Structure 1
Amino acid sequence: MAQVKTMIARRAVYNQTVRELNVLTNRELADLGLSRYDIETVAREAAYGK
C-alpha cells in the first residue's frame, strides 16, 4: 500500500511540474534554459529522479 501512495505522490509532482512549466512563456522558459520540448523531461526528473 505504501508503494501505491508513493507512486500517486510522484505522479502528482509530475503533473504539477508540467502544469507550472506550461504556463510560462517561451521567453521565460528560455531564461531557465528550457524549451517546450524539455517540459516532460524536467517533470519526469522532478518526480522520479534521473
Structure 2
Amino acid sequence: MAHALNTTTTTTTTATSSLMARLRGVAESARTSWALHREYKRTFNELDSLTDRDLADIGVRRSDIVDLARTHVYGA
C-alpha cells in the first residue's frame, strides 16, 4: 500500500509541475505579446506624429504607417 501512495504522490507532483510549467508558459506568452504590442504602438505613434512633409522625406505615405509598424514589430 505504501508503494501505491508513493506512485500517487509522484503522479500528483508531476501533474502539478506540468500545470505550473504550462501556466508559466502562458504568462510568458502574455508578457511577450504585451511587449510586442507596446513596441507596435510606440512605432506607430512615432511615425504618426511626423508631418506629411517629414514622411515624404523618408519615402513613407501616411496610409503605410500601420503596415510599416506591423512589419517592424512582427516581421513580414
TM over 0.5: yes
Report sequence identity in percent: 40
Cα RMSD of the aligned pairs, angstroms, is 0.7
Within 5 Å, give how 1:4-43 maps onto structure 2: 4-43=30-69
TM (norm. structure 1) is 0.91
Deviation per residue, 1:15-49 (Å, 9 max, x gap): 00111011101111011110100100011011111
Q: Larger relative contact order (C-alpha < 8 A, sep ≥ 6)?
A: 1
TM (norm. structure 2) is 0.62
Report runs of 4+ in structure 1 exceeding 2 Å deviation: none
One-letter code of the match for 1:32? I
The number of aligned residues is 50
- What 5-or-longer segments of structure 2 have no aligned partner? 1-26
Higher helix share: 2
CA contact 1:18–1:40 (8 Å) conserved in 2 = yes
- What 5-or-longer segments of structure 1 have no aligned partner? none
